[in-house]
Amino acid sequence: MPGWSCLVTGAGGFLGQRIVQLLVQENDLEEIRVLDKIFRPETREEFYNLRTNIKVTLLEGDILDAQYLKRACQGISVVIHTAAIIDVTGVIPRQNILDVNLKGTQNLLEACVQASVPALIFCSSLNVAGPNSYKEIVLNGHEEEHHESTWSDPYPYSKKMAEKAVLAANGSILKNGGTLHTCALRPMYIYGERSPFISNIIITALKNKGILSVTGKFSIANPVYVGNVAWAHILAARGLRDPKKSPSVQGQFYYISDDTPHQSYDDLHCTLSKEWGFHLDSSWSLPLPLLYWLAFLLETVSFLLSPVYRYRPLFNRHLVTLLNSTFTFSYKKAQQNLGYEPLASWEEAKQKTSEWIGTLVKQHSETLEAKSQ
| Residues belonging to the active site | 155
User: What is the CB neighbour count within 10 angstroms for residue 201?
Assistant: 21
What ranges make up the beta strands (E) of 214-318? 220-221, 224-225, 253-256, 279-280
DSSP 227-238: HHHHHHHHHHHH
Name the residue among 227, 264, 172 with its Cα closest to residue 349.
227
Q: How far apart are alpha carbons 181 and 6 in whole angstroms?
A: 14
Beta strands in 135-198 (DSSP E): 137-141, 181-187, 190-191
CB-based burial of residue 3 (10 Å sphere; 0-12 exposed, 13-18 middle, 19+ buried)? exposed
- C-alpha–C-alpha distance, residues 352 and 77, integer Å: 33
Instruction: Work out whether the CA dihedral 192, 195, 201, 203 comes out positive or negative.
Output: positive
